[in-house]
Amino acid sequence: MNNTELLGLLKKHFGFSGFLVGQQEIISDLLAGKDTLAIMPTGAGKSLCYQLPALALKGTAIVISPLIALMKDQVDALRANGIPAAYYNSTQPPAHQQETLARLKDNALDLIYVAPESLSQLLPILNSIPLNLVAVDEAHCISSWGHDFRPAYTQLSHLKETFPGVPIIALTATADKPTQEDIKIQLNIPRAAVHLSSFDRKNIYLEVRPGINRINQILNFIKGRPHEGGIIYCLSRKGTEKLADKLNSKGYNAAAYHAGLLPEDRAKIQEDFINDRTPIVVATIAFGMGIDKSNVRWVIHYNMPKNIEGYYQEIGRSGRDGLPSTALMFYSYADVVQLAQFAQGSTKEEYQLAKLERMKQFAEALNCRRRMLLGYFGEHVYKDCGNCDNCNVPPEYLDGTIIAQKVCSAVARLNEKESVNTVVDVLRGSKNAHVLNKGHEKIKTFGAASDMPWLDLQQYIIQLINQGILEVHFHQNGRLTLTPLARQVLYEGRKVRLAILVKENPKNKKNSMETEPESELLQHLKNLRYAIAKEDSIPAYIVFSDATLKAMEKEVPHDMDEFSRLKGVGEAKLEKYGARFLAILKDFDQPRRTQKKTNKPKKQVSTLLKTLELYDDGHGIEEIAQKRGLAINTIWGHIIQLSENGEHIDFEGLIDGDELEKIANARDNVEDSTKLKSYYEYFNEEMPYWKLRLGLHLLMNP
Ligand code: ADP
Ligand code: MG
């Protein structure tokens, strides 16, 4: 099969018009009958690497997959694309299993998914039908080096002997060498072609913030993202419950998830998350492995994870659809101490502490975070990424020599026996019990930095630790000692540079702010998607991905032909869903296309009139939004548009003279006066979008 034919199949079945990085090479190898090992990060599109060949070749493909949730998700997605597929595992009712086996026997399936434990039950049939390939997904489960080791995976070595002419493809997102070798040995594919792609996940914005006032920071973060869902990881079970309660009490819909819950409760939470019924899950790291949800828009780490592998795996759950996503991590010194204590006494203590140290360095990095992450995984990049907090707002520095001298001197005078917190107390001149009991108030540096806020001083000391000027001994109550560099600071006039601490909204100008409000069209498209998902009992993102809905919003196709060209629309989905989405799109399409002829777009007016009616009846904006099932910002848009159309609207009490003046002044100072976002940023995200829009409208139409 040549490339054009392959691309034809790709569009027909999956609606995509091109391959993602790495897919094409892997697919060619498989089609050429070669065994293959594909190591690609989450969201890189591994499934397609065996699904497309399965369709291109005669016969059936078998896919070994470790979790029922994953199998179900993939089979749902294939069926939504009109591809005959099924899964087989031990939890299904016997009648269901029999039916699947019968279809398999009749060559009626293009792909069959099976758990490794159930594979033996399929073998007799597999021997009697044309098998075109074997895919082993999440192949790291085969290796006891890996983290999700599954004994049944080690029984797969016979596959190569049983089906010598059938190519095997193993896929995983776990990169390390020992695991790779193990996979090849255990699957009996020593000469497999190895495809290792970049681990960069460019669409995920990386940000780390000091863990101060985390709950408020999180509330602010999610407030700006009313239409997005995500995961918040916490260290402890109790932590997940407390935070979920807090979010619920503030009106958000969040569930706590941890290993202490009953399996059926866990399954329900996971399902509600996948189906967008519960947009936020607050979880321990027990959550995530069985989740292929493509539109997780953000991942927050309430606590710092214990190593970079874990961090990368967890943030990787966001943005599988390739759309912009955010990974926000909070970091505090207390987290480091606690994690170090967890590691203590374990058999791999030294190894774990070393990993923790790297994680801490990442948290405290002052340069491009992505370069550091990729470097950790052995990928060296020479350009800053432009999509992390440090690239976004590079830190500014101050001459910290005097501060450093004071700190080092205090550490010396405390005989290198005290922890960061005590050093801070002493420098600030606190007369607390610990200080007084030990007589620390008598040393010379007592109170030498009494003018500095506690947290600032603590942060500076952490920077000194990271610069290798001080050392922490976690085993010994975290006492600080001086390094040779400290002696240069104290006695040889060595200069020290410290990053200026950023208050409030640190480094988050770009991504952590409120996202721009969703358009009315997109809301309608999402509502329809949700309705279809319910009718068909599949997750919404399987009906269409967020990326496809965004494409609809942008292109506004007006017939089946235009609709069919959208990314993610293959033949089956075009036929099944096209007309329903087009009906919505048509309403929005009309004003745009007919604007030149009549300046009274029909539907637009009717939706505006509905809002006007309610507004004139004395309903508040929020109430109208709720009644109409639209976002508050949309209703504001209506009100302003009505006013622009000449309707008399009473704006009394919505915006005052002061605010108008501020907005007027801002016009000359914002970065781009045609963008609301610029105004929003200019006012430090404190003035809501609607007010900005209203203010600008009033200024232009006095
Ligand atoms: P992985 O298993 O590597 O984590 P998936 O197979 O789940 O990734 O795919 C991730 C997302 O990428 C899915 O939403 C999938 O539809 C999408 N995708 C896969 N291949 C393509 C492609 N060629 N073009 C556009 N999107 C693709
Ligand atoms: Mg996958």
Name the token pair of 253: 């819909």
Closest atom of ligand 1 to 545 CA is 14
455 Cα: distance to centroid of ligand 2 (angstroms): 43
CA 77/CA 405 separation, integer angstroms: 62
Residue nearest to atom 20 of ligand 1 (CA): 45
Confidence band for 513, pLDDT divided at 50, 70 and 90: very low
Token pair 């017939």: residue: 559
Tell which atom from ligand 1 comes closest to the C-alpha of 20. Answer: 23
- The closest of 263, 307, 312 to 286, measured between CA atoms, is 263
| Tokens 């940000």 -> residue | 207
Of the listed ligands, the closest to the CA of 316 is: 1
The residue contributing the CA closest to ligand 1 atom 12 is 45
Which ligand places an atom closest to the C-alpha of 323?
1
pLDDT digits (tens, 9 = 90+) for 409-460: 999 999 999 999 999 999 999 999 999 999 999 999 999 999 999 989 998 9
Taking a C-beta distance cutoff of 8 angstroms, is the pair 635, 625 a contact? yes
Q: Quick check: 201 pLDDT over 90?
A: yes
Mean pLDDT on 542-568? 94
**What is the token pair recorded at 235?**
């260290």
Q: Are 407 and 471 in contact (CB under 8 A)?
A: no
Q: What is the pLDDT of residues 259-295, one digit of tens each?
A: 999 999 999 999 999 999 999 999 999 898 778 899 9
Q: Is the pLDDT of residue 20 over 80?
A: yes
The overall average pLDDT reported for the chain is 88
**Averaging pLDDT over each range in 356-360, 587-591, 619-623, which range is the top one?**
356-360
Q: How many CA atoms lie within 13 A of 490 on its CB side?
A: 16
pLDDT given for residue 624 in this prediction: 87
Nearest CA owner, ligand 1 atom 27: 45
From the list 200, 207, 506, the residue with the least C-alpha distance to 328 is: 207
Query: Residue 135 and residue 373: Cα distance in Å, rounded?
Result: 29
Q: What is the pLDDT of residues 682-697, one digit of tens each?
A: 888 788 888 888 888 8
Q: Render pLDDT for 362-407 as a digit per residue (tens, 0 to 9).
A: 998 888 999 889 888 878 777 889 999 999 988 888 999 999 999 9
Contacts of 390 (CB under 8 A, 6+ apart): 365, 366, 367, 368, 369, 507
- 414 close to 446: Cβ distance less than 8 angstroms: no
**Cβ atoms of 73 and 145 closer than 8 Å:** no
And the tokens for 588? 């929005």
Distance 29 CA to ligand 1 centre (A): 19
DSSP secondary structure, 122-151, as one string:
HHHHHTTS-EEEEEETTGGGG-TTSSS--G
- Distance between CA 404 and CA 494 in Å, rounded? 10
Q: Whose CA is nearest to atom 26 of ligand 1?
A: 16
Q: Max alpha carbon distance in the chain (Å)?
A: 88
CA of 47 to the centre of ligand 1 (A): 7
Fill in the DSSP letter of residue 652: T
Q: Which ligand 1 atom is nearest residue 44's CA?
A: 3
Q: Ligand 2 center to residue 38 CA distance, Å?
A: 11
Ligand nearest to the CA of 52: 1
Pocket test of ligand 1: the residue of 19, 20, 75 to mutate, having most ligand atoms within 8 Å of its CB, is 20
Ligand 1 atom showing the smallest separation from residue 567 Cα: 25
What residue's CA is closest to ligand 1, atom 19? 45
Say how many Å lie between the CA of residue 148 and the centre of ligand 2.
14
- Tell whether the model's pLDDT for residue 343 goes beyond 90: no
Cα–Cα distance for residue pair 319/328, rounded to 1 Å: 13
Flag whether pLDDT at 529 surpasses 80: yes
Lowest mean pLDDT among 291-300, 342-351, 538-547: 342-351
Using a 10 angstrom Cβ sphere, with 0-12 exposed, 13-18 middle and 19 or more buried, the burial of residue 328 is buried
Determine which residue's CA is closest to atom 18 belonging to ligand 1.
Answer: 45
Q: Strands across the sheet with 193-196, in order?
A: 85-88, 111-114, 60-64, 131-136, 168-172, 36-39, 193-196
Q: How far is CA 134 from CA 126, 131, 158, in A?
A: 11, 8, 12
Q: How is residue 405 written in tokens?
A: 């001298």
Q: What is the pLDDT of residue 589?
A: 65
Whole-number Å distance, alpha carbon 14 to ligand 1 midpoint, is 10
Atom of ligand 1 nearest to the CA of 41: 3
Residue with token string 């040995």: 185
**Which ligand 1 atom is the nearest neighbour of the CA of 14?**
16
Query: Is 68 within 8 Å of 115 (Cβ atoms)?
Result: yes
Dist CA 29 CA 469 (whole Å): 52
User: Which domains are present in the chain?
Assistant: 3-196 (3.40.50.300), 204-389 (3.40.50.300), 397-501 (1.10.10.10), 520-588 (1.10.150.80), 606-700 (1.10.10.1390)
Where is average pLDDT lowest: 181-185, 279-283, 510-514?
Answer: 510-514
Cα(490) to ligand 1 centroid in Å equals 56
Neighbours of 296 (CB within 10 A): 27
Cβ contacts of 111 within 8 Å, gap of 6 or more: 51, 54, 60, 61, 62, 63, 75, 78, 83, 84, 85, 86
Strand 479-482 relative to strand 470-473, pairing: antiparallel
Spacing, Cα 292 to ligand 1 middle (Å): 10
Q: What is the pLDDT of residue 146?
A: 59
Bridge partners for 473 per DSSP: 479
DSSP letters spanning 73-87 = HHHHHHHHTT--EEE
pLDDT value for 32: 96
Residue 147 pLDDT class (50, 70, 90 cuts):
low
Structure-block tokens of residue 518 = 């969703």
Residue 528's pLDDT band (cuts 50, 70, 90):
very high
Cβ atoms 322, 43 nearer than 8 A: yes
What is the mean predicted confidence (pLDDT) over 490-504? 85
Residue whose CA lies nearest to ligand 1 atom number 17: 45
Residues 6+ apart with CB under 8 A from 28: none
Which ligand 1 atom sits nearest the alpha carbon of residue 42? 4
pLDDT tens-digit map of 225-235: 988 999 999 99
Q: At what angle do helices 3-14 and 571-594 cross, to 10 degrees?
A: 70
Ligand nearest to the CA of 140: 2
Alpha-carbon distance 511 to 68, whole Å?
35
What's the pLDDT at 413?
96
Tell how far the Cα of 676 is from the centroid of ligand 2, in angstroms: 38
**Which sign does the torsion angle of CA 579, 583, 585, 591 carry?**
positive
What b-and-e string marks burial along 530-541, b requiring 16 or more CB atoms within 10 Å of the CB?
A: eebbeeeebbbb
Read off the DSSP letter of residue 204.
E
Beta strands in 560-653 (DSSP E): none
pLDDT at residue number 406: 97
Residues 550 and 523: beta-carbon distance below 8 Å: no
Specify the higher pLDDT residue, 622 or 121: 121
Cα separation, 207 vs 42, whole angstroms: 19
For residues 223 and 221, give the distance between their C-alpha atoms in angstroms, rounded to a whole number. Answer: 6
* Residue 511 neighbours by CB distance under 10 Å: 22
Pick the ligand that lies closest to the CA of residue 136: 2
- Give the distance (Å) from ligand 2 centre to CA of residue 138: 7
Ligand nearest to the CA of 45: 1
Residue identifier of the C-alpha nearest atom 2 of ligand 1: 46
Q: Residues 13, 570: contact at Cβ < 8 Å?
A: yes
CA of 290 to the centre of ligand 2 (A): 10
Using an 8 Å Cβ cutoff, are 238 and 260 in contact? no
- The number of the ligand 1 atom at minimal distance from the alpha carbon of 292 is 7
For residue 147 the two structure tokens come to: 């983290």
* Residues 692 and 679 sit within 8 Å (Cβ to Cβ): yes
Ligand nearest to the CA of 137: 2
Tell me which residue has its CA closest to atom 15 in ligand 1.
45
The number of the ligand nearest the C-alpha atom of 9 reads 1
Q: Is the pLDDT of residue 594 over 70?
A: no
Output the CA 296–ligand 2 centroid distance in Å. 15
Pocket residue to mutate for ligand 1, from 19, 20, 48, 293, most atoms within 8 A of Cβ: 48
Condensed to tens digits (0 to 9), the pLDDT of residues 202-221 reads: 999 999 998 888 999 999 99
The amino acid occupying position 262 is: L
For the record, the structure tokens of 565 come out as 């060209």
Only one residue has tokens 């939890």, namely 91
Query: Is the pTM above the cut of 0.75?
Result: no
Q: Tell me the residue type at 313.
A: Q
Mean local confidence (pLDDT), 298-306: 96
Write down the pLDDT at residue 37.
Answer: 97
End-to-end Cα distance, the chain: 67
Q: Both tokens of residue 507? A: 């480094």
- Please say if the pLDDT value at position 598 is more than 60: no
Q: How far is the CA of 23 from the centre of ligand 1 (A)?
A: 10
More confident residue, 408 or 702: 408
Relative to the CA of 18, which ligand 1 atom is closest? 23
Close Cβ partners of 336 (under 8 Å, ≥ 6 residues apart)? 304, 356, 360
Distance 516 CA to ligand 2 centre (A): 31
CA of 71 to the centre of ligand 2 (A): 10
Ligand 1 pocket at CB < 6 A = 16, 19-20, 23, 40, 42-48, 292, 294, 320-321, 545
Q: What pLDDT band is residue 57 in, cutting at 50, 70 and 90? A: very high
Show the 3-state SS of 518-578.
Answer: CCHHHHHHHHHHHHHHHHHCCCHHHHCCHHHHHHHHHHCCCCHHHHHCCCCCCHHHHHHHH
With the most atoms of ligand 1 within 8 angstroms of its CB, the residue from 19, 21, 46, 47 to mutate is 47
Position 603 pLDDT exceeds 60: no
* Dist CA 238 CA 260 (whole Å): 10
